[in-house]
A = this chain, B = another copy of it.
Amino acid sequence: MAGSNFGTAFRFTTFGESHGPAMGCCVDGVPPGLPLAAGDIQHWLDRRKPGQSRFVTQRREPDQVEILSGVFDGRTTGTPIGLLIRNQDQRSGDYGEIKDQYRPGHADYTYDVKYGFRDYRGGGRASARETALRVAAGAIARRILGDGVRIRGALVEMGGDPVDRHAWDWGAIEHNPFWCPDMATATRWESQLDDVRKAGSSVGAVVEVVAEGVPPGLGEPVYDKLDADLAKAMMSINAVKAVEIGAGLEAARLRGEANADEMRLVDGRAVFLSNHAGGILGGISTGAPVVVRFAVKPTSSILTPRRSIDRFGKEVELRTKGRHDPCVGIRAVPVGEAMLACVLADHLLRDRALGPQPRGPAPLP
């Protein structure tokens, strides 16, 4: 059954396989009048695209986006925005021998079980290439959110080695190949990941994405809570195995008095004295920064031979060749940012359906 779209009021739909002729995205529900050009989307795509350092796949894909509809005279028209990215570097030959074998940790087996066969070239639909379209949709979502909402992401742990949070510097993330918010940590990771890469192995990572300036009141209880939709958004990204909001798992290790964020008034505005809640209470944004973390498993495409089976019911040993990411979590940072932007844009529009704030019979502080 259909499952290729995301969002409700702001909704995008994607199609495309890793080695097909092209991938596409339809972004629907975009308010009219927003300035938008291909370059605005390309800016974010360029941050995700492969081949930018020795730590990500060496596949050469310009990921050039074309806007096919929904924009006129440089502005969005309110009609669906069609986006197209042609695939360029499709070395299908690399994948021929795994056509009938199931790579451990990959979706090869499950796609075959569900669909009976699969486009095995480069992982087909299950390839992380699909995330380029999420980044493209996220670029449009950022436009909807406007400059008042700032979304940034960082790699906060790689191969079990966490970033030094006391040294956190957002300025650092653009100056190392890991989106690491601490240059000292980045240097450490660089050396570690070189070892991993040379060993033909791979490591996992943890990504943190943060949105500042989110207006309070976003989220639709009780099933379309803001955090519920964020959890779905992040878990739908390839290789993600855990999602945390705010203090996340650590919240379960705090006492009630330590966890609950106290409130005070500063210049007449409600402020929270801490943010264990990650900016969400009861499924609704509080106005504090929305903080989401997700864990990315290590790439399953590795050089070590692994035991598996093939589609004919035989046991095999297989070793993945081809071009791969020693830490696929790196390129997940812009994807996580994009999904955060998409969820927030969707809920901003959904909240507007209730009418302009303030609402209800009584005045708010």
Is there contact, CB below 8 Å, between B307 and A256?
no
Count, chain A residues at interface, CB 8 A: 166
| Cβ-based interface call for A98 (8 A) | no
Within 8 Å CB of A356, what residues of B? Answer: 356
Copy number in the complex reads: 4
Q: Are B243 and A282 in contact (CB under 8 A)?
A: no
Other A-B pairs beyond A109-B270, A251-B295, A312-B363, 16, CB < 8 Å: A1-B8, A3-B224, A4-B28, A13-B80, A33-B360, A72-B124, A77-B117, A105-B259, A110-B281, A116-B362, A206-B252, A235-B245, A242-B245, A254-B298, A264-B307, A309-B365
Separation of A248 and B285 alpha carbons in the complex (Å): 25
User: At the interface, yes or no: A349 with Cβ under 8 Å from chain B?
Assistant: yes
* Contact yes or no, A116 B364, CB < 8 A: yes
Q: Is the CB of B78 within 8 A of A223?
A: no
Any chain B CB within 8 A of the CB of A93? no
Partner-contacting stretch, out of A14-22, A48-56, A179-187 = A14-22
- B243 & A242 in contact (Cβ 8 Å cutoff): yes
| B residues in contact with A69, CB < 8 Å | 15-17, 20-24, 125
Contact with B along A326-365 (1 / 0, CB 8 A): 0001000000000000000000011111111111111111
| A284 CB within 8 Å of chain B | yes
Output the residue of A69, A103, A218, A329 with the most chain B CB within 10 A.
A69
A268 nearest CB neighbor, chain B only: B313
The reply on A289 being an interface residue by CB < 8 A is no
Residues of B within 8 A of A255 (CB): 159, 196, 201-203, 298
